Amino acid sequence: MPGESKSVTRLLQDWRGGDPQALDQLVPVVYESLHKMAGRCLRSERPGNTLSSTALVHEAYLRLVDADVDWNGRVHFYAVSARVMRRILIDHAKSQGRAKRGGGERVAFDEAAVVSAAAPESLLELDAALSRLAAFDHRRSEIVELLFFGGLTYDEVGEALAISRATVDRELRLAKAWLHRELSPSSPAGAQP
C-alpha cells in the first residue's frame, strides 16, 4: 500500500495543479479500492437493492470530479469518498422511501463494521443519529462514518483526523455506546454523548 499511497498522493497533487492527465491516471489506481469501499457500504443494504457497487462508485466518481477539494493525500481522498458514498446512499434511501410512501431502507449492519449487535432499522435512522451525534461531537460522528462507510483502518482514520489510533479507539467506543442508546427502540432521541 505504500506505493499506492505515494502514487495517489502525487496524482492528486498533479490533478489539483491542473494536470488533466493526472485524473486519467488516478482513476485506475483508486478504482479497485473505491469498489471495495462501495461493496462494504452496500453489504448492509436490503436484499433487492437497486444500487450496485459499480453504480455507487460511478456516482461517487462524478461527484468527486466536480468537487472543489484541496486534496491532502490518499487518506483524505478516501475519507472524502466515504462521505460522498454515504450521501449517495442516504439520497437513494430517501428517494426509495418517497417512492414507497414512507418506506425506509432496511439495513442489517455487520456487528464488526459498525455500532452494535442490535442493528438499526434503517440507513435513514443511522444517518439521522449520526447527524445528532455530530451536533454534539463532530469528531465521533466522523470516526463512525470513516470506519463504516469508508472502510478506513483505525490508523487511516487517525491520520485523516490528526489524532492517535488510541484516540480513535476510545472515541469509537463512546460513539458506539451513544448510537446504541440512541437507536434503541426505548431510547429518547437527542441524548447527549
What is the per-residue DSSP string for 38-97?
A: HHHHHTTSPTT-S--HHHHHHHHHHHHHH-------HHHHHHHHHHHHHHHHHHHHHHHH
- 66 contact partners, CB below 8 Å, separation of at least 6: none
0.85 exceeded by the pTM?
A: no
Q: What is the pLDDT of residue 120?
A: 36
Mean pLDDT of the region 43-66 = 79
- Segment 14-45, tens digit of pLDDT: 888 888 898 889 888 899 888 888 887 777 66
What number is the average pLDDT over the span 126-153? 87
Identify the pLDDT of residue 113: 35
Mean confidence (pLDDT) of the chain: 77
Our CA angle for 89, 41, 192, nearest 5°, is 75
Over the stretch 89-124, which tens digit does the pLDDT of each residue have? Answer: 888 877 776 555 444 333 333 333 333 333 334 677
DSSP code, position 102: S
